[in-house]
Structure 1
């Protein structure tokens, strides 16, 4: 039967119910994405400015030959930076999963940029000794209509916790919302068989934060109160994806010279 299929629509990842293809629910990451991200505006501007300063010789020549191309190059600087980080993170995650499953990884087949991450993950396994119960599976919430894919559920020092691997510069507080969604879902849909099993009782969550210079294992609060905040974002998601459509009606009375665009064109 297999696991859960997904599709992307309107910039959101949707999970398709394996028992009823007509049921599609938003992914945890897309729901958490409803958080305001004002800091990204300043980050994107900084990346464009740095790209202009660091590559001025190239940019100045490009301006002479193709001004529009120069603008595209600079305005997309943050996307190039983000994609590079995303590609590294994806490569590291794939290797982490293989290591967690006990696979042997030939160091000669590991990209130089990811080799430090692999070494630190091995050290984490040796020092913390997690007992992995589930790896890279999908959770589904029938109660609140969402789904998501977690990195691991493991038993550590007798306690069961949901884990997330991060290779980003920092551990951001939004990860608490993400882990709470996994922890409080109703069931796990197993990739290999498509079978649904209950999400196990968990003591909490944690992030394994792996950077080129080292690693740290960070506990994350993901209890009921955090899940309430996640569910508020779930409502915001519905609002943004269709709930707000049509809430502002047509004027039933008007005075002065205010006209709609249609009325101006007709005139």
Structure 2
């Protein structure tokens, strides 16, 4: 969630929060991660004869996907920080590029920095804005763009994605939802000037020439362009997902959607012949 300033309450969702409304089936990945963790657990052989120990192995294996996700997110943050510092250095602004690279090296991730440096030298981007926060009041969302840069004379909105490497040594492909994310950034109406004062200005790059997703891996960096012909469809998709988010938020605020239903009260059933004068005793002739 984003606010107009650090002193105000958040009022609109982030671009990534809106994108999160799209259904994603990770069941297979979760199952594979758990099975792989269980098979690779050194305790497994000894645990086969002990239900208690086996439960401990299973419990830890069940959390393998979450651990992998969290580790990947932390790695992505470190790589993004390095990319940000390189852009700040290119703009002549204060930076911590050496420190960010040292942090990657401490985690055995310096190859990401080396590949990024090669891409930067090859494409020679001229940074115009780094980690810029944008806002759209009409739809109601905000977000932060990794980089706005001029490459070969063309203005580009750029989003970095840290990716793993496949068996062939190639960086894994980007998810097409990066296009939806970039389009939402393109459709921003304002950009942040001062978070403390809550000062904004009209978004200067709504007519950017290219939307680029940049996959950063240990073996290579692969930039890809969002195909112009699909941008409108991705914008409609984003707006639809925003409506889903809006309705989910409203339903959550409305309280429980279900409540128990008690059985109907017991009704007194009429006794046959009640109210009529008996004319004979039981067993009478």
TM-score, length-normalised on structure 2? 0.76
Given the superposition, is the C-alpha separation of residues 144 and 66 from structure 1 closer, same or farther in structure 2, using an over 3 Å criterion? same
Work out the CA distance in 1 between the residues paired with 2:116 and 2:195: 25
Q: 1:32 aligns with which of 19, 22, 34?
A: 19
**Pairing 1:44-55 to 2, within 5 Å after superposition:** 44-55=30-41
Q: 1:111 aligns with which of 102, 106, 115?
A: 106
Work out the CA distance in 1 between the residues paired with 2:176 and 2:257: 38
Q: Is 1:198 aligned to residue 202 of structure 2?
A: yes
Q: Report the Cα offset of residue 213 of structure 1.
A: 0.9
Paired residues, number? 243
Task: Describe the superposition over 1:5-50 as per-residue Cα deviations: whole angstroms up to 9, x where unpaired.
Answer: xxxxxxxxx1112288255100100100111101x11110111111
Q: Which residue of 2 aligns with 1:255?
A: none
Given the superposition, is the C-alpha separation of residues 119 and 23 from structure 1 closer, same or farther in structure 2, using an over 3 Å criterion? closer
Secondary structure of the 1:16 match is coil
Q: 1:229 aligns with which of 225, 237, 240?
A: 237
Q: Which has the higher strand share?
A: 1
Work out the CA distance in 2 between the residues paired with 1:217 and 1:132: 16
Work out the CA distance in 2 between the residues paired with 1:43 and 1:217: 26
Q: Which residue of 2 aligns with 1:16?
A: 3
**Which segment is superposed worse, 46-55 or 183-192?**
183-192
Greater Rg over alpha carbons, structure:
2
Unaligned stretches of 5+ residues in structure 2: 90-94, 165-172, 267-285
Work out the CA distance in 2 between the residues paired with 1:19 and 1:70: 44
TM-score, length-normalised on structure 1? 0.80
Secondary structure of the 2:106 match is coil
